[in-house]
């Protein structure tokens, strides 16, 4: 092994290889035994393509079609496959497109100020039911559930209206009952939602209406996730009424609610996007479900007729499982592990055999360059415990002097109601194979540890998350695992806010990078999209009544406290965190004389999708730390313009 300082190691995991060999694996569907998925391609400008696997691979939507919805800005639920028909939302014109059999996709609806997502097809009435976001009027968009006539896309009927948000319209097998989730400001869907059920009736003139609506479950303090109809006509759903997202069902006769498997585990997820799924029904009437405990995913079978048997675990090598879909004796899901990239996995429930039909990266890496995630717990404020995934440096070709400790990059995930994943991330391995240690923090407020842990952030955003990131870094430094004088923190979106708060209000870190992060909470409260426009009510307090708290927790107002270097990476078409947020902070650092870099990206929204921008952000951040921490990168990296660098 070659002796070289941490950070200067030569790695086979380059930014070029990451973007050229990697794709984003999106929503999965299974229909008629065929598997479909939405595939994001950085090398095609971030275009999203529906793919099919039926033994062979087929590209279903060709350029310039881009299968993506921006309902709630985050989208999801952008396509539906049913009985060989495909309906999808196209990014550029916002229209619903239809593809029947091997025919060419064609627009069903007309272009306008509408967005569509979360589709379900009512075969009986020839209607496509979905969530519509209407921006034809000034002010907030109006969200409704609508029925789109598949014979005439201009015939669109509003079925349900009045709530601020809707999700998960679900039809029973006969198509005469509709269930859905709704919620009101200021709740987010993981705070409290309502599950509704109604009869669906079509008049002689073809008008579809709902009748006898009734509230099944939920409320302002109970989060409902993924309603589904079983083949025998019962309505199932996930609720966190016990403090954990567990499975329940209602009786078709009297609508009584029965828990199926109460346990301290999460069968639900924060609904940032539409179409999320953690369970489904198999051909023999059982439930295949995924759940999370202590940050690790499990897959199991639950028999509704024999609940006393409990969960029957399926032994698989995946620690991260999501997007689960079932049909007959087959299931498909996203599966990943600490040493294998996420893949679309097809599982035969009869034989127990499985195969990967698409992998997020075809980059072949010697495992001696891979740093496997190590779950850690560490003490944080008020005698509590926080969680994270630690990745020590690893590269079979290099080692550092025994007296040297590695620099640490703390990663703060977005959301903030989200969580880290232990699946192999080439973005993390990029750092560890060059000699950095990485701590991916599941700070208080993250999902996967029950509602109490999730609620730690209520009223405490910018405090609890920041403390947990700083304490995680301190924990590793005190154990001698990292260099306490070379600590950096990085995050995107809400994780960027945590990053900027940590760099402003704490003295744990010497440098950091904000990727489309928030620095002014007032600006966010008054200049963001509908979905998150009242999110800060619970995370910070009501605005403008509690304006002073917004000011106190906004890094932009306390730049005099800054004493470290920061790099900013920002999409110029970002509607979630507008670019003026980054630009205000850059100006403040520039005037203070601190090292600062600003990299704006034309044509990018919230998150980077183009290969050249993903590469630039990754290499640029590494180059930035090299200049601040004083090591020489082994790669020939395009220099980043750093102002005030001495």
Do residues 566 and 433 both lie within one domain? Answer: yes
Report if residue 73 sits inside a domain.
no
Do residues 373 and 433 both lie within one domain? Answer: yes
Per-residue pLDDT, averaged over 366-374, amounts to: 94
* Whole-angstrom distance, CA of residue 420 vs CA of residue 336: 13
Report if residue 172 sits inside a domain.
no
Say how many CA atoms lie within 13 Å of 109 toward its Cβ: 25
Do residues 295 and 369 both lie within one domain? Answer: no
Do residues 291 and 396 both lie within one domain? Answer: no
At residue 367 the predicted structure's pLDDT band, cuts being 50, 70 and 90, is: very high
Report if residue 355 sits inside a domain.
yes
Do residues 465 and 487 both lie within one domain? Answer: yes
pLDDT of amino acid 142: 97
Q: What angle do CA 352, 355, 356 make, to 5 degrees?
A: 145
β-strand partners of 178: 171, 198
- The three-class DSSP label of residue 102 is coil
Report if residue 58 sits inside a domain.
no
Segment 592-606, tens digit of pLDDT = 999 999 999 999 988
Q: Which of 22-31, 250-259, 336-345 has the lowest mean pLDDT?
A: 250-259
Per-residue pLDDT, averaged over 193-209, amounts to: 93
Convert 433-458 into a string of H (helix), E (strand) and C (coil).
Answer: CCCCEEEEEECCCCCCCCHHHHHHHC
Do residues 346 and 490 both lie within one domain? Answer: no
Spatial neighbors of 105 by CB under 8 A, at least 6 apart, are 61, 65, 86, 88, 97, 98, 99
Segment 71-105, tens digit of pLDDT = 999 999 999 999 989 999 999 999 999 999 889 99
Do residues 356 and 487 both lie within one domain? Answer: no
Do residues 353 and 392 both lie within one domain? Answer: no
pLDDT of amino acid 526: 87
Which of 342, 360, 378 delimits the end of a domain? 360
Report if residue 129 sits inside a domain.
no
Per-residue pLDDT, averaged over 495-511, amounts to: 96
Residues 34, 56 contacting (CB under 8 angstroms) = no
pLDDT for 249 beyond 80? yes
Do residues 468 and 331 both lie within one domain? Answer: no
pLDDT of amino acid 576: 76
Do residues 341 and 380 both lie within one domain? Answer: no
CATH assignment at residue 378: 3.40.50.1820
At residue 230 the predicted structure's pLDDT band, cuts being 50, 70 and 90, is: very high
Average pLDDT score over the chain:
95
Q: Helix, strand, coil shares of the chain as percentages rounded to 5?
A: 20, 35, 45
At residue 122 the predicted structure's pLDDT band, cuts being 50, 70 and 90, is: very high
At residue 364 the predicted structure's pLDDT band, cuts being 50, 70 and 90, is: confident
Please tell me the pTM assigned to this model: 0.91
How many structural domains comprise the chain?
2
Do residues 339 and 401 both lie within one domain? Answer: no
Report if residue 126 sits inside a domain.
no
Report if residue 114 sits inside a domain.
no
Segment 426-472, tens digit of pLDDT = 999 999 999 999 999 999 999 999 999 999 999 999 999 999 999 99
Do residues 347 and 471 both lie within one domain? Answer: no
Report if residue 54 sits inside a domain.
no
> 325 lies in which domain range?
277-301+311-360
């Amino acid at each position: 092994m070659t002796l070289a300082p941490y950070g200067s190691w030569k790695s086979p995991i380059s930014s070029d290889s990451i973007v050229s060999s990697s794709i984003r694996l999106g929503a999965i569907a299974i229909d008629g035994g065929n598997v479909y998925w939405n595939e994001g391609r950085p090398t095609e400008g971030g275009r999203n393509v529906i793919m099919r696997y039926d033994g062979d691979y087929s590209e279903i939507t060709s350029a310039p079609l881009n299968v993506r919805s921006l309902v709630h800005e985050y989208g999801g639920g952008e396509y539906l496959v049913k009985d060989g028909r495909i309906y999808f939302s196209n990014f550029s014109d916002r229209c619903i497109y239809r593809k029947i059999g091997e025919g060419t996709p064609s627009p069903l609806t007309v272009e306008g100020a509408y967005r569509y997502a979360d589709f379900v097809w009512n075969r009986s009435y020839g209607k496509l039911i979905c969530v519509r976001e209407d921006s034809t009027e000034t002010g907030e968009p109006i969200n409704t559930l609508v029925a789109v006539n598949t014979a005439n896309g201009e015939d669109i009927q509003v079925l349900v209206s009045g709530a601020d948000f809707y999700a998960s319209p679900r039809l029973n097998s006969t198509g005469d009952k509709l269930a859905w989730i709704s919620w009101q400001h200021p709740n987010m869907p993981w705070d409290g939602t309502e599950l509704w059920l109604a009869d669906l009736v079509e008049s002689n003139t073809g008008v579809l209406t709902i009748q006898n609506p009734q509230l099944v479950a939920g409320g302002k303090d109970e989060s409902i996730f993924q309603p589904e109809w079983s083949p025998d006509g019962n309505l199932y759903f996930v609720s966190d009424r016990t403090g954990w997202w567990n499975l329940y069902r209602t009786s078709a006769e009297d609508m009584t609610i029965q828990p199926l498997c109460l346990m301290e585990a999460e069968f639900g997820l924060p609904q940032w996007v539409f179409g999320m799924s953690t369970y489904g029904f198999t051909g023999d009437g059982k439930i295949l479900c995924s759940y999370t405990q202590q940050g690790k995913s499990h897959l199991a079978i639950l028999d509704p007729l024999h609940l006393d048997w409990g969960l029957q675990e399926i032994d698989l090598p995946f620690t991260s499982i999501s997007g689960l879909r079932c049909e007959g004796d087959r299931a498909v899901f996203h599966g990943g592990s600490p040493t294998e990239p996420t893949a679309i996995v097809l599982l035969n429930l009869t034989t127990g055999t499985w195969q990967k039909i698409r992998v997020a990266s075809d980059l072949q890496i010697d495992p001696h360059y891979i740093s496997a995630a190590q779950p850690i717990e560490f003490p944080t404020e008020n005698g509590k415990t926080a969680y994270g995934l630690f990745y020590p440096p690893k590269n079979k070709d290099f080692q550092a002097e025994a007296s040297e400790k590695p620099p640490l990059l703390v990663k703060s995930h977005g959301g903030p109601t989200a969580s880290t994943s232990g699946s192999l991330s080439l973005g993390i391995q990029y750092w560890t194979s060059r000699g950095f240690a990485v701590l991916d923090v599941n700070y208080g407020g993250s999902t996967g540890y029950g509602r109490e842990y999730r609620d730690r952030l209520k009223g405490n955003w910018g405090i609890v998350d920041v403390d947990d990131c700083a304490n995680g870094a301190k924990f590793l430094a005190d154990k001698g695992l990292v260099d306490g004088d070379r600590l950096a923190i990085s995050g995107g979106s809400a994780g960027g806010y945590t990053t900027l708060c940590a760099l402003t209000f704490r003295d744990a870190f010497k440098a950091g990078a904000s990727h489309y992060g928030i620095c002014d909470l007032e600006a966010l409260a008054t200049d963001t999209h509908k979905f998150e426009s009242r999110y800060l009510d619970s995370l910070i307090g009501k605005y403008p009544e509690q304006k002073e708290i917004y000011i106190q927790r906004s890094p932009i107002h306390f730049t005099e406290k800054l004493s470290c270097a920061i790099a900013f990476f920002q999409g110029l078409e970002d509607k979630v965190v507008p670019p003026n947020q980054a630009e205000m902070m850059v100006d403040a650092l520039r005037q203070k004389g601190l090292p600062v870099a600003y990299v704006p990206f034309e044509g990018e929204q919230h998150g980077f999708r183009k290969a050249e921008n993903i590469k630039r952000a990754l290499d640029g951040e590494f180059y930035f730390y090299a200049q601040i921490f004083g090591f020489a990168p082994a790669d020939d990296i395009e220099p980043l313009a750093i102002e005030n660098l001495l």
